[in-house]
Amino acid sequence: MPSTLPPQAAGRKLVFLHLPKTGGTSLHHHFAAHFAPEEICPERFSRLHRYSPEELGRYRYFSGHFNFDQIRTIPGQLFIVTVLRDPAERLLSSYYFWKRHTEATIAKRKLEGPAIARSCSMIDFLRNPHHEVQDSVNNTMTRYLAGQVNVQPDLTYRYSAGGPGVPVSELEVLHRAIGNLLSMDVVGFAGNLHEAYTRVALVFDMPRVAEIARLNTRRDAHPELEPVQEEELSREMRAEVDRLTMLDRTIYRLARAHLRQFQR
């Protein structure tokens, strides 16, 4: 059973907004160990809206690929945590993770994104307008932090929480993301997961650990994944990566600068 919450946690629920391919699986493993199974929300993807407020109210730990609007549906006082990763590294990790899926797995689970990644080169993948592809590579961290911001077929953005949605500019998406990021209790970085865990552990009276082992890395063996030959980044590829991570790079740079200011 979990230990009694210390005064600084004040009964708040721990919410881990796990941005895709940022090393969050490792943190989730350590956070979840502190809670009883019945205290952990089983939803790990963007389907919190399927739960009633009464159902959500029963849980003390939430962790998944949610966007910021979705975690607003969780009742009670929240302690919100997220982790950012170098945008180019995160994008490439997403691409190679999908590309490693075996043909049998893709067919069995009807995975459109991995099927596209497996069937084409990186440059063609990055330029593919399919909604799953764009969701995985097009300023993903910024859009998830901004809320329900989706990429349209013409590669513009649309904010669609609670209705049909309205077009939003890159500046609006960035503004929403920065505001939400500043409201979080802990913002960590993939290169130092131990620091993020320690800051949460101090509040929730979790056991201290010497290090946080990275799980689900590109080198890990998995029955549904297979090794692939990684492509050398050409100037053309790098330009596409830069185009698709422009907002993410701004968010990442500002977050790092913000942290450095408070570490002085």
In a domain, 241, yes or no: yes
In a domain, 22, yes or no: no
Structural domain containing residue 152:
89-180+231-251
Task: For residue 147, report the phi and psi dihedrals to the nearest 5 degrees.
Answer: 115, -145
Question: How many distinct structural domains can be found in the chain?
Answer: 1
pLDDT, tens digit, 9 for 90 and up, residues 80-112:
999 999 999 999 999 999 999 999 999 999 999
Query: What pLDDT, on the 0 to 100 scale, is given for residue 210?
Result: 83
Q: Is residue 2 pLDDT above 60, yes or no?
A: no
pLDDT, tens digit, 9 for 90 and up, residues 38-58:
999 999 988 898 999 999 999
In a domain, 99, yes or no: yes
In a domain, 76, yes or no: no
In a domain, 189, yes or no: no
Contact assessment for residue 188 and residue 154, using Cβ atoms and an 8 Å cutoff: no
**Confidence tier at 3 by pLDDT (50, 70, 90):** very low
In a domain, 261, yes or no: no
pLDDT, tens digit, 9 for 90 and up, residues 141-200:
999 999 999 999 999 999 987 677 899 999 999 999 999 999 999 999 999 999 999 999
More confident of the two residues 262 and 20 = 20
In a domain, 11, yes or no: no
Contact assessment for residue 200 and residue 31, using Cβ atoms and an 8 Å cutoff: yes
In a domain, 212, yes or no: no
